[in-house]
Amino acid sequence: MPCFLVGTAAARSAAALFGVPCLLFTHQQGHVAAAAWSAGRPELLDAPFLAWHLSGGTTELLLVRPDGRRGVTCGKIGGTKDISAGQLLDRTGKRLGVAFPAGKALDAAADPDNSESFRVRVEGMEFSLSGMENKLAALSDSGAGIAIVAAAALNTISRAVIRATENALRQFGDMPVLFSGGVSGSGVLRSIADFGIFPEPRFASDNALGIAILTYRAVDK
């Protein structure tokens, strides 16, 4: 993506200046490595596992495999077919008057005792969230407060993610499931998903840490 090319160019220039190798990793690799490290499970990077990258721009289910000096490969096997989980939260938050990005504020405002959600159609390991925006808007227009709307939004996303994960485990076999990306810091998601490995919330959206970890592992090997 163009937004990453500036960093790549700077890295190549610095490597040439200092006469050291320039090791390139993907955005997903960085998030996955940071999540595994902050969860206290760095050994995950040495065997296949499933990982979610849930953020403002991405909702992807990944099959992660070890890959020598590249650390891991991340193959997309599922996720949303339209808007991301973070986009749904941000658009809902804007309607409720919550500052952008809205994820943390909605997670904090969500009523923990409210289990209301909208059923998302999950096909295999893929699902669509765009229709949920209208349903959450209608819920808000009906007079429901932010605690109820926020809970419904997060419950809806969480249950779609869980169902897609269950389908992936049936297809690929039992293996660890790691969550990464900013939305994985949600307390609602963590309370609903009774499986999975979660990063420390402060590292959920971290990418640079993961790149540093993968670089260290590559050089150490």
Tens digit of each residue's pLDDT, the chain (221 residues)? 677 788 889 989 999 999 998 988 888 999 999 999 999 999 999 999 999 999 888 899 999 999 876 689 999 999 999 999 999 999 999 999 989 888 889 999 999 888 888 999 999 999 999 889 999 999 999 988 899 999 999 999 999 999 999 999 999 999 999 999 888 888 889 888 888 999 988 888 888 899 999 999 888 76
Please tell me the pTM assigned to this model: 0.89
Domains of the chain and CATH, by start: 45-199 (3.30.420.40)
**Predicted pLDDT at 84:** 92
3-state secondary structure 120-171: CCEECCEECCHHHHHHHHHHHHCCCCHHHHHHHHHHHHHHHHHHHHHHHHHH
Distance of CA 79 to the CA centre of its chain: 10
**Predicted pLDDT at 203:** 85
**Predicted pLDDT at 3:** 72
The Cα–Cα gap between 202 and 28 comes to: 17
